[in-house]
Structure 1
Amino acid sequence: MCFYINLVLVFNMCSWSLSQQAEHECKRHPAGGDTPPDTSTRSSTRLILNDEKSKNNNNISPTDGGSTTTATTTPTSAEPPSNEPWDKYRLPKTLMPVVYTVELWPRLTPDPKTGLYIFTGDSTVEFECVEETDLILIHSLKLNYTNLSNGLWATLTSVSPDAQVPSVKTTWLQNVTQYLVVQLDSKLTKGHKYTLATKFTGELADDLGGFYRSEYEEDGKTKVVATTQMQPAHARKAFPCFDEPAMKAIFHITVFHDPGTIALSNSEEQESNSVDIEGHKVMKTVFKPTEKMSTYLLAFIVSDFTFINDTIDGVLIRVFARTPAIKAGQGDYALSITGPILKFFEKYYNSTYPLPKSDQIALPDFNAGAMENWGLITYRETALLYDEAFSSSSNKERIATIIAHELAHMWFGNLVTLRWWNDLWLNEGFASYVEYLGAHEAEPDWNVKDLIVLGDVHRVFAVDALASSHPLTSLEEDVQTPAQISELFDAISYSKGASVLRMLSDFLTEEVFKKGLQTYLNKFAFGNTVYTDLWDHLQEAVNAAGTKLPHTVHEIMNTWVLQMGFPVLTINTTTGEVSQKHFLLDPDSQVTAESPFNYKWIVPIQWVKTGTSQEIQWLEEKSATIETMKASGAEWVLANYNLVGYYRVNYDQGNWDRLLNTLGINHTLIQVINRAQLVDDAFNLARAQIIPTALALQTTKYLDKERDYMPWQSTINNLDFFYLMFDRTEVYGLMQNYVKKQVTPLFTYYKEMTSDWTTVPNKLMDQYNQVNAISQACKSGHTECQTLVKKWFNDWITTNINRIHPNLRSTVYCSAIAAGGVAEWEFAWSKFKEATIAIEADKLRSALACTKEPWLLNRYLEYTLNSTLIRKQDATSTIVLIANNVVGQSLAWDFIRARWSYIFTEYGGGSFSFANLINGVTKRFSTQFELQQLKQFKIDNADVGFGSGTMALDQSIERTVANIKWVEQNKENVLDWFINEAKQ
């Protein structure tokens, strides 16, 4: 899955100005992700088995017209669960599904009696008894079951007609662990196959999880789509199933739907014809059996969408979306790059695409960025649809990388699936790494592969440098509940996973890495693995190639996978001594997590010396002497060449001075990625009190001569921390003046390059840096810039013709609204409400948070709780956008504190990402008062809970403690530095 962090800044990662966020949309898989929290025992939806309202909803018509019974369940209790199998979150290893046959009928209009949107279903699952048992546990969530006989909700038959079949003794629902429990009067026979049948009703709610509904306006009418999001544990919300990734089976899906709509699923349509059910004329679409697959990859959709298609080497490729979007050509770009990316991965994996079709569909309401359902990938509209008149270059890049991410999963994750969620990092980390390779194949002129440094490596460093971080993998028994599973969809799993796999590919060489990957996929096709299976195959490839490593792949990689964090290497170029230490942003923080390696890593050091070629050497102990790293005279040493290693680097003062001198005299002598690295390392080393803050600030002095995007973006990301800490103090004005001085040459450079802003730079990175030039110039009070953007925006207001280039819209909208008042805000709000292009709506939604009027921001916060004004999928990011604004930060914090119970309960089904919300609203905290408020917030809401934001809350407390200390220790020094710079 590709998680979508629309405009949310987490841990100061990708922390650009508000105006730039919509342009760059840093990463799809944020800390905490957009995965819904555990909602097993609470939700706002109205058809819940332990909800009083649902107990009165027995008049919903099931498929067969029989009666529907709502279960009486054991209420949630703080007491420890019993030792009974149904009180354990993991399925027993007694049964293994083989084939499901599922029929579903979603209603796209509300029930006239209840006002609910519902679906009805009929399901049978054939399973094999692996161990004798008289108990069937099958996952079920928010489903009401029909009495089939004698008040029982399930019937059992044998696949072999002459075999003895136990009778169903009783059935009930165990809500906390989300099971339909079927007790038998005798035991099933080991090795025999049986079929369990059920009929059920569920609500087609708007909660973005399981089988849900999405609504949108078209031609003045409200239209409804029935769609799905099963990962990680929501297939059980659509039909009863063995909802664990290792429980692979074949699925026969049939969907009943209204005439005039189409039905889609993972496999090809087998037949579709009109039938009569309960006096209703409906279409019955039967799909061919799927491949053997996991439940979380299932998808079924009913809509009146249309599509465009192409065929590549016999594979049917289709892009579905709302009819106006397809007619406007917004699916054309996705269709044009899907074939080339598929072919790239076929070659990369040395494996033919496993399915006959590849459908991609853009949904108006979708919680993540995209989801890799096998053969039917679902996307947010902004992640799939491209319109040259509205979409920026970064929107286009995001579409390419997300498509590549999801297509990479078709093999790695879908064909071969990790056995349990504790190894999620390998699945998502791998896709997050190779998405850049796939996008590069589609757009080789973009140089997109370098962006992993900003988008993943630097981003996750900020999280993994906390004492409250966690290792990539964990024990299976430590990941049990849906909430615990949801917490794994964070920056560690995605971005650290991508970073260490990139490092692994580099030191093995890409050819050896690919060879091991190919044999791994071939051996485990249609099966399940644990992450060490990949290490085994990579080791075989290493042995076959004769590659020399200091240790086995297992031994090297275990130091990166089994312990949290990463090292900072300190290189003394006078003595050649190299040492490593666990890097912590707050050196005084207490690391309570034990490490099997005592926080020592086996580190591949890629390095260069002045005028020499790249070398690689290994640091296997806490310290070692590497004679060749000694430098004399004007020589400098630069380690972590191209930032392929997952570590930071510090040097002796003499080497720092030589590197800074080189930046000042001829910065191009240092590779562009490493210029970005020097800035990022220095600022973070200073935050960790390893080097003086003045040294970090010195790395920015050469920027008046820098024209490349990556070093500028790295600087902006790091200066954002200074803005967060000081934009309420006297440091702010001096800092603004310094930034204006440094960015003015860049602003002038792009003004001349674009003939006074009338053309667009040719290269993607130049287009990105043009946005930086305007954004930073306007933000720092550059008069010409501010006049320019206000003129562009006012021209739009007066002529009602928007001539602002899509690349610049976010920064122009934000700057103009920040400088304006009510009239500008209301104009943008009216355009937001009128917007039919999702990406244009996103740009406006972001910019609306830039106003300096507190009452407008307060009203905007209230809008987030009204899904007719702000879609549920966008609520979290809108609140965080407001919190990014210094005027809005305290308003947003007061808002979520006052409404936490309501927000958590009402949006528990999936629209809110609580990790992003907590991180985003608290990242500016840097006083004891704010720390006490945060701790009190944790106490006050302990009974409500924090779902997938539980870990984020602890990280926010830790980060606030570090911020307080940092400000106390650095404010005067920073103030003095900027005062001195102003004198020069």
Structure 2
Amino acid sequence: MDNAEHTHLISFSNFDFSEDVITYDPKSSNVIDEYQTAQFICHEVCHQWLGNYVTMKVWRDLWLNEGFCYYFEDICVGNVFPDWKTIDQMFFRKYLYALTSDGLPSSHPIIIPITTPSDVDQIFDSITYDKGSMVVRMMSIFLGDDVLRDGLVNYIQEYQFSSANSEDLWTALTEVAITRNVLPENFTLKQIMDSWIMQPGYPYIDVKIDYTNRSATLSQKRYLSEDLSGNEASNPCYNIPISYTTSKNPNFEDSKPKYWLTCKGNLTIPADIDESQWLLLNIRVAAFYRTNYEENNLKALQTTLSQTNTYSVISILDRSQIIANIFGMSWTGILKYEKTFNIIKYLEIEDAYIPWRTALESLHDMRNLLVRTEIFQSFQQFVRSFLEPKFLTIGDITKIPDDFMSYRYYTLLIYWACIYDVKSCHDQSVAIFQPWQRQQNPDETNPILPNLRDIVYCEAMKTGGEPVFDFMWKRYINSNVPNEQYTILTAMGCTREKKLLQRILEWTIDSSKIRREDSSQAYWSVVNNDIGFDLAKNFFFNRFDDILN
């Protein structure tokens, strides 16, 4: 469907998609477009079972549709494209997003009362999708994939062409779980899961190691990214599956829970290590929580990470969660940023995509806070100190490997090197762009690799002024490929000239210039520009009635 107001309409055996979300052209689209298209299709196919065959009884159980299909879309794509490692990519696409949104004091439970139509719109959010999918993943790990699958089959067969709620799902899963003996003693599945879906937030676990008695004591508290001044009323309790390993005998393959930290009190677990060794909870991010370690344990982890012959002892996902944990603890003031920055210097030797992505996303949150302060340039220089050497190992940015994960890693480094003003990144991008700009028929042939276009277009816009702006605008008008139009429109917001940014803002409310379905992206391209933020903010308040109309 061209120019559709909704991205999709799904009914039994029928799928209607808007053109921009289903179209993939390898000549002008990159591998990420292919990845996102595949995910979108898998997600909607999932709704034939969870949504159509079985529908939630009431809106409060929306997560039964969206949380589950948001999880299974990655399972589906991973089975078709195993090299894409979609399960690992859940970490930053869903786990980190859920940690951020659910860490706010204003967060809500997955299941909340729905009393008005406007309440429905509010639950199509990160809690339902990101947290919902991560809770499903946690359940699939402690129950086992086979139990989850067989329980869902029974659930769908029992309630096909009908409606159901969370209680019905727990009943179906429990029947299978009991026969396989996978539930913890004296706990029902409903008791475990209600602590995750009926309460807001998630916990962080404090780890206190007793080196004399070779044990560690775990306690939990709700993680909040903002201080509520000790408001204990907002401190719920969760039933948490505990998996862990140590440097003495590292095992990152078994993420099944060895113990459970429940609401009955603290938990003491064996920890046969000395002060030079480490303990690591939550193997392969099997559960939805953060961890706060004592200084000795952090030092031991830092020592392992900082050495080329030992850092890979810790799995890629677990290196990523260490980074996410220390940034999360620093954000709340529990851990000093100095310690966090010392640990992430190990990135100089890191060659995996997901740890780098985790660190750069976390640093970007800080960058957004510091961009208008006097220490901003010092911050930029600090990040460049370990990012630029890694970027320079790439050499020619047009020589990107074909395999999916290497592609993601290389383009990540290129993208952020340009964001952090690495000169070689900008110079190479402009040099790639200029031959295209000089062509007589640029709409017929684009020599820029699709996988580099978002980066190259943006860098050319930064210093190209009005000539490049006008050139790109013509390419936007003449293109009939939605992904290419999206890339061009996003890049146009990279210009450093205020008058051009203001022009984009004016065009967002002029449908003869920018299509209504594209106007939001054009606006956000200005918001995400350091120079354009204030312009976009003022435009929003001064032209609110025009935007509304």
TM bin, normalised by shorter chain, reads: over 0.9
Q: 1:742 and 1:582 mapped to 2: Cα distance?
A: 33
Counterparts of residues 625-774 of structure 1 (less than 5 Å): 625-629=267-271, 631-665=273-307, 666-751=310-395, 756-774=396-414
| Superimposed CA distance per residue, residues 469-492 of structure 1 (whole angstroms, 9 cap, x where no aligned partner) | 1000023xxx23322111111111
Aligned to 1:424: 62
Q: Following the alignment from structure 2 to structure 1, what is the Cα–Cα distance between the partners of residues 491 and 270? A: 52
Shift of 1:371: 4.2
Partner of 1:403: 41
Q: CA shift at 1:745, angstroms? A: 3.0
CA shift digits 1:773-793 (9 cap, x unpaired): 212222222222211101111
Q: CA RMSD in A?
A: 1.8
1:880, distance to aligned residue in structure 2 (A)? 2.1
Cα deviation, 1:315-338, whole Å, max 9, x if unaligned, reads xxxxxxxxxxxxxxxxxxxxxxxx
Q: How does 1:28-39 map to 2 (within 5 A)?
A: none
Identical positions, percent: 29
Q: Deviation per CA, 1:518-567: give whole Å up to 9, x if none.
A: 10000000000111110111100111212242411000000001100000
State how far apart, in whole Å, the 2-side matches of 1:804 and 1:883 are.
Answer: 26
Say if 2:71 is the partner of 1:433. yes
Distance 2:261 2:77 in 1: 33
Distance in 1 of aligned mates of 2:272 and 2:456:
49
Alignment pair present for 1:459 and 2:97: yes
The Cα of 1:710 is off from its aligned counterpart by 0.4
Structure 1 CA distance for aligned equivalents of residues 338 and 26 of structure 2: 44
Distance 1:892 1:795, change over 3 A: same
Q: What is the CA–CA distance in structure 2 between the aligned matches of 1:727 and 1:556, rounded to whole Å? A: 43
Aligned position for 2:165:
530
Cα-to-partner distance string for 1:383-434 (whole Å, 9 max, x where unaligned)? 2111111111111110111111010110011100001111112210000000
Q: 1:420–1:591: structure 2 CA closer, same or farther, 3 Å change rule? A: farther
The amino acid of 1:664's aligned partner reads S
Output the CA distance in 2 between the equivalents of 1:772 and 1:521.
Answer: 41
Contact 1:381 1:838 in 2 (8 A): yes
Alignment check: 8 A CA contact 1:609 1:635 kept: yes
SS of residue matched to 1:626: strand
Equivalent pair of 2:397/2:428 in contact (CA under 8 Å): no
Distance in 2 (CA, whole Å) between partners of 1:886 and 1:567 is: 34
SS at match of 1:470: coil
SS in 2 for 1:876: helix
Q: Which amino acid aligns with 1:732?
A: F
Q: 1:445 maps to which residue?
A: 83
2:150 aligned residue (492, 497, 515): 515
For the pair 1:562 / 2:201, whether they are aligned, the reply is: no
CA distance in 2 between counterparts of 1:699 and 1:823 reads 44
Superposition pairs of residues 818-837 of structure 1, within 5 angstroms:
818-837=462-481
Task: State the secondary structure of the residue aligned to 1:821.
Answer: helix
Counterpart of 1:483 in structure 2 is: 118
**What is the one-letter code of the residue matched to 1:377?**
F
TM-fit CA distance, 1:699:
2.9
Question: 2:2 — aligned with what?
Answer: 363
Is 2:417 aligned against 1:777?
A: yes
CA apart distance, 1:737: 1.8
Amino acid at match of 1:628: P
Is the counterpart of residue 547 in structure 1 residue 191 in structure 2?
no
1:623 & 1:658 partners in 2: Cα distance?
Answer: 28
Q: How far apart in 1 are the matches of 2:483 and 2:63?
A: 29
1:884 positional shift: 1.2
The answer to whether the 8 A contact 1:457-1:496 is kept is yes
Distance 1:767 1:461, change over 3 A: same
Q: Which amino acid aligns with 2:84?
A: W
Secondary structure, aligned partner of 1:572? strand
Aligned to 2:130: 495
Q: Which amino acid aligns with 1:827?
A: F
Matches of residues 930-969 of structure 1 in structure 2 within 5 Å?
none
Contact 1:430-1:498 within 8 A present in 2 as well? yes
In the alignment, is the contact (CA less than 8 A) between 1:367 and 1:873 conserved in 2?
no
SS at match of 1:627: strand
Question: Is contact 2:205–2:218 with CA below 8 Å preserved after alignment?
Answer: yes
> 2 CA distance for matches of 1:630 and 1:687?
31
Larger strand share, 1 or 2: 1
The Cα shift of 1:769 comes to 1.4
Q: Distance in 1 between matches of 2:413 and 2:361?
A: 14
* Separation of aligned partners in 2, 1:408 and 1:544: 27
Is the 8 Å Cα contact of residues 750 and 757 (structure 1) preserved in structure 2?
Answer: yes
Instruction: Note the alpha carbon deviations across 1:270-313, whole angstroms, 9 max, x for none.
Output: xxxxxxxxxxxxxxxxxxxxxxxxxxxxxxxxxxxxxxxxxxxx
Q: 1:380 to 1:622 in 2, by over 3 A?
A: farther
Q: What residue is the counterpart of 1:608 in the other structure?
A: 245
Give the letter for the 2:52 counterpart.
N
Task: Give the whole-Å Cα distance in 2 for the aligned partners of 1:363 and 1:407.
Answer: 21
Distance in 2, matches of 1:623 and 1:631, equals 24
Specify which structure has the bigger relative contact order, considering alpha-carbon pairs within 8 angstroms and separated by 6 or more residues.
Answer: 1
| 1:861/1:895 contact within 8 Å kept | yes
Counterpart Cα distance in 1 of 2:272 and 2:17: 52
The alignment's TM-score, normalised by the length of structure 2, stands at 0.93
